[in-house]
């Protein structure tokens, strides 16, 4: 079935022409979809009834079926597992930080990169998501936040409110699904409809060098984060296997070029793993590695341990020492909160948990 959210504004205009309608009907539908977030053509009140009926019969608007959702104990994080029309499942997370309401979205079903510490990586890649399947994840939480009813579902957020930030850090490697991801982000940043500032969108990649260089040429000023996790090729080849193709000198060269072209800061994600990548020597190597970049920022994230994986989070003392060395080397850092460890908020963990009946029963309570 045709997913209307997969279509750009001009594709919707073309569709209307092929349906024997004036092209401006496509603009009207685009507004209903991306500004009003309607999921039922019946609510598109400025369309003729026959057109609404045809849309209802032949097109899909919301491809997400909520399987379940789970909040952390403090009411700051909600993780949702959705089923897509083909039966695949994806995860989406809403995180509350003071005034920010950030949605972490997925771009693929599974992931082909195969990082050994990641639940998604263990399952391999099933398929890319379409633009509409990516957009719908943000729309789903936006609709929930826009509701004026008092929050009877536990999350500590005043409603109505809005999604303020998007991080493309869920399941999958977004630059391996480049066109669909960029189409989705453009729709979400469209000032005439959803109107999220592109500066409030952060895309995280493991470092697909040709795509980073392509991103540098886009006229969409999103932020770039790189999942680094290791300061040497030897270690990174193990932790992030794509490093064998795009090793660190190549990656750093691409990031220097990206920064020259965009003048934007690059952030690095570094999952702290006990005894693997958290020594003082490795912190010094990281300072040296990032030296060619202007104002790099490093997020140090205690690893969310995946059941069945030997990788464990670093101790707070090791993280503090690592952080001190980076800061002494002139690199700004943030130690990121481990949001939702108890709700399996690490990438792919809820989906993995949902495949184990006893865990699913636990989540359902």
Q: Which residues are catalytic?
A: 91, 347
Rounded Cα gap, residues 110 and 170, in angstroms: 10
8 Å CB contact between 185 and 203: yes
* 120 is a contact residue toward ligand SF4 (CB under 6 A): yes
CA 268, 271, 272, 273 torsion-angle sign: negative
Please list every residue from 153 through 172 that binds ligand SF4, using CB under 6 A: 171-172
* 115 is a contact residue toward ligand SF4 (CB under 6 A): yes
8 Å CB contact between 301 and 334: no
If we measure between CA atoms, which residue out of 168, 169, 149 comes closest to residue 160? 149
* 90 is a contact residue toward ligand SF4 (CB under 6 A): no
Cβ at position 271, least distance to ligand SF4 in Å:
8
265: region left, alpha or beta (phi > 0 left; psi from -120 to 50 alpha): beta
Residue with tokens 């957020």: 157
Nearer to ligand SF4, 29 or 103 (CB): 103
Cβ at position 173, least distance to ligand SF4 in Å:
5
The contacts of residue 356 (CB under 8 Å, 6+ apart) are: none
Stretch that binds ligand SF4, among 113-121, 184-192, 295-303, 328-336 (CB under 6 A): 113-121
* 272 is a contact residue toward ligand SF4 (CB under 6 A): no
Cβ at position 108, least distance to ligand SF4 in Å:
8
The contacts of residue 226 (CB under 8 Å, 6+ apart) are: 204, 205, 206, 207, 251, 255, 266, 267, 268, 269
Cβ at position 148, least distance to ligand SF4 in Å:
36
Nearer to ligand SF4, 136 or 176 (CB): 176
* 104 is a contact residue toward ligand SF4 (CB under 6 A): no
* 121 is a contact residue toward ligand SF4 (CB under 6 A): yes
Member of 145, 326, 347, 353 binding ligand SF4 (CB under 6 A): 347
Nearer to ligand SF4, 75 or 114 (CB): 114
Stretch that binds ligand SF4, among 14-22, 115-123, 147-155, 318-326 (CB under 6 A): 115-123
Nearer to ligand SF4, 180 or 287 (CB): 180
Rounded Cα gap, residues 41 and 286, in angstroms: 53
Rounded Cα gap, residues 176 and 174, in angstroms: 5
Nearer to ligand SF4, 155 or 242 (CB): 242
CA–CA distances in Å: residue 60 to residues 178, 235, 353: 23, 45, 29
Member of 38, 103, 105, 113 binding ligand SF4 (CB under 6 A): 113
* 173 is a contact residue toward ligand SF4 (CB under 6 A): yes
Stretch that binds ligand SF4, among 42-50, 69-77, 106-114, 210-218 (CB under 6 A): 106-114
> How many alpha carbons lie under 13 Å from residue 64 in its C-beta half-sphere?
27
Cβ at position 345, least distance to ligand SF4 in Å:
13
* 206 is a contact residue toward ligand SF4 (CB under 6 A): yes
* 255 is a contact residue toward ligand SF4 (CB under 6 A): no
Cβ at position 244, least distance to ligand SF4 in Å:
14
Cβ at position 93, least distance to ligand SF4 in Å:
13
- Count other C-beta atoms under 10 Å from residue 257's C-beta: 14
Containing 287, the helix (H) or strand (E) segment is helix 280-290
Give the binding-site size for ligand SF4 (rule: CB under 6 A): 12
Residue 97, helix vs strand vs coil: strand
DSSP secondary structure, 9-76, as one string: HHHHHHHHHHTTS-THHHHHHHHHHHTS----GGG-TTS-HHHHHHHHHHEES---EEEEEEE-TTS-
* 207 is a contact residue toward ligand SF4 (CB under 6 A): no
Stretch that binds ligand SF4, among 107-115, 313-321, 322-330, 332-340 (CB under 6 A): 107-115
Interacting residue ranges for ligand SF4, rule: CB under 6 A: 111, 113-115, 118, 120-121, 171-173, 206, 347
């Amino acid at each position: 079935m045709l997913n209307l959210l997969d279509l750009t504004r001009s594709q919707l205009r073309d569709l209307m022409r092929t349906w024997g309608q004036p092209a401006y009907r496509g603009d009207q539908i685009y507004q209903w979809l991306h500004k009003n977030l309607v999921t039922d053509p019946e609510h598109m009140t400025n369309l003729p009834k026959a057109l609404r009926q045809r849309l209802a019969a032949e097109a899909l608007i919301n491809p997400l079926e909520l399987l379940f959702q789970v909040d952390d104990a403090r009411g700051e994080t909600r993780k949702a597992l959705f089923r897509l029309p083909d039966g695949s499942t994806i995860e989406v997370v809403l995180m509350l930080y003071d005034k920010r309401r950030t949605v972490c979205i997925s771009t693929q079903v599974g992931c082909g990169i195969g990082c050994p510490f990641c639940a998604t990586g263990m399952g391999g890649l099933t398929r890319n998501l379409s633009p509409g399947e990516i957009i719908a994840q943000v729309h789903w939480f936006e609709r929930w936040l826009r509701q004026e009813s008092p929050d009877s579902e536990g999350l500590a957020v005043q409603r109505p409110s809005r999604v303020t930030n998007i991080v493309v850090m869920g399941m999958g490697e977004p630059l391996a699904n480049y066109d669909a991801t960029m189409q989705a982000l453009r729709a979400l940043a469209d000032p005439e409809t959803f109107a999220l500032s592109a500066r409030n969108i952060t895309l995280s990649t493991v470092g697909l060098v040709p795509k980073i260089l392509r991103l540098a040429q886009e006229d969409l000023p999103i932020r770039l984060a790189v999942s680094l996790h290791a300061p040497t090729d030897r270690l990174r080849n193990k932790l992030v296997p794509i490093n064998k193709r795009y090793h660190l000198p190549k990656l750093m060269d691409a990031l220097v070029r990206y920064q020259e072209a965009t003048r934007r800061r690059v952030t690095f994600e570094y999952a702290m793993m006990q005894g693997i990548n958290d020594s003082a020597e490795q912190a010094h190597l990281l300072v040296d590695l990032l030296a060619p970049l202007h104002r790099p920022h490093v997020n140090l994230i205690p690893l969310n341990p995946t059941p069945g994986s030997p990788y464990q989070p670093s101790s707070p003392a090791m993280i503090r020492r690592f952080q001190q060395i980076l800061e002494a080397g002139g690199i700004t850092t943030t130690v990121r909160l481990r949001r939702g460890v108890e709700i399996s908020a690490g990438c792919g963990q809820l989906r993995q948990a949902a495949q184990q009946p006893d865990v699913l029963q636990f989540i359902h309570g």
